[in-house]
């Protein structure tokens, strides 16, 4: 059973596009210094090897200046190199955001639940794991008059040995997973677990309309 986590298709496409634009900007910064190196952006500037053995006093001033600049850049990290280094984490972050939007998914196979993120997939046996229910808080319209904070429940499964798998209990376009998926998760947990009862209660009363 595939669980309804992640973004809807339109939001997923937007997330992938945003991540790729971010990555392209980072790649541009990373490659920018190459256009300023000798033989890169200025084809008239010779490389240090081409003028090796010629005394600098015999070189035309413009050639002497660009060769000296090229030797300085290659000797260490100049400003352009540092600008390129800034682009590398931006590129990696963009790729991560695109993969996260595209790949995020979860599914239940018997008693084993798998959650796939940007880079890897984690699987845990709910029947053998220690189960708890937590929550994270999602802020919308931050720093505006319409700012709201939404509490999103999540299932945390801890296997003996330390592996943790977190399953968001929020469906696509809804505040929680559909009733059938909540019941399937509850059935996969060992009998008698209070978390299983809590999941069934969520399935029975998704809008929290029942009186306490």
- Smallest CA-to-CA distance from 24 within 109, 93, 91 is with 91
Q: Give the pLDDT of residue 7.
A: 75
Euclidean distance between CA atoms 129 and 165, whole angstroms: 10
| Cα–Cα distance for residue pair 147/193, rounded to 1 Å | 37
pLDDT for res 160: 78
Task: State phi, psi for 73 to the nearest 5 degrees.
Answer: -65, -40
- Give me Rg for the CA atoms of the chain: 28
Q: Give residue 47's pLDDT.
A: 61
| 3-state secondary structure labels for all residues of 90-134 | HHHHHHHHHHHHHHCEEEEECCEEEEECCCCEEEEECCCCEEEEE
pLDDT in tens, the chain (212 residues): 999 887 778 888 888 999 999 899 888 877 776 655 444 444 556 666 666 667 766 666 766 666 555 544 444 445 556 666 778 888 999 999 999 888 889 999 999 999 998 888 999 999 988 998 888 777 767 677 777 777 778 899 988 776 788 898 887 767 788 899 999 999 999 888 899 999 998 888 765 544 44
Residue 28 has a pLDDT of 82
What are residue 151's DSSP bridge partners? Answer: 137
> What pLDDT, on a 0 to 100 scale, did the predictor assign at position 186?
92
Residue boundaries of the structural domains of the chain = 9-101, 104-204
pLDDT at 66: 64
Strand partners, 42: 38
* DSSP letter (8 states) at residue 154: E
Distance CA 28, CA 18 (A): 15
How many Cβ atoms are within 10 Å of 45's Cβ, its own excluded?
A: 20
């Amino acid at each position: 059973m595939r669980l309804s986590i992640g973004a809807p298709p339109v939001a997923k496409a937007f997330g992938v596009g945003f991540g790729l634009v971010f990555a392209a900007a980072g790649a541009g910064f990373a490659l920018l210094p190459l256009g300023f190196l000798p033989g890169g952006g200025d084809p008239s500037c010779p490389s240090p090897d081409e003028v090796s053995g010629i005394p600098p006093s015999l070189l035309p001033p413009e050639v002497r200046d660009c060769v000296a600049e090229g030797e300085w850049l290659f000797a260490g990290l100049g400003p352009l190199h540092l600008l390129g280094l800034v682009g590398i984490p931006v590129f990696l972050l963009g790729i991560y955001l695109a993969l996260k939007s595209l790949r995020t998914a979860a599914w239940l196979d018997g008693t084993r639940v798998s959650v796939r993120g940007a880079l890897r997939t984690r699987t845990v046996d709910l029947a053998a794991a220690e189960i708890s229910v937590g929550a994270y808080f999602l802020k919308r319209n931050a720093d505006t008059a319409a700012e709201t904070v939404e509490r999103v429940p999540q299932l945390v499964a801890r296997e003996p040995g330390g592996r943790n798998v977190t399953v968001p209990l929020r469906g696509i376009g809804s505040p929680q997973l559909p009733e059938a998926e909540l019941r399937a998760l509850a059935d996969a947990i060992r009998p008698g677990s209070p978390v299983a009862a809590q999941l069934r209660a969520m399935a029975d009363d998704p809008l929290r309309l029942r009186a306490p």
